[in-house]
Amino acid sequence: MIRWFAILALLQVVAFWKILGRMGFPPWLAIMASIPVVNLVMLYYVALTSWPNERLLPPPDAGSPDAKF
């Protein structure tokens, strides 16, 4: 039983490591994803703050379909 928890925790850390790295956050935050209450706080932090990669992108053109109204 404990072996399955360890395997699932490792899979979760690998997924969070990849996702956080692509969003521009430090990937070592993925280790915090295996701590039960901290992962909820981290999830809300990532969802509600602006991502570092968004700050590097140029603003969209007003005529492009991706522009927000």
**pLDDT tens digits for range 10-52:** 888 898 899 888 888 888 888 887 788 888 888 898 888 888 8
DSSP-derived 3-state class of residue 43: helix
With residue 56 as reference, give the H or E element that holds it.
Answer: helix 52-56
Distance CA 69, CA 59 (A): 13
Q: What is the pTM of this model?
A: 0.64
Q: Is the pLDDT of residue 67 over 80?
A: no
Q: Is the pLDDT of residue 63 over 70?
A: no
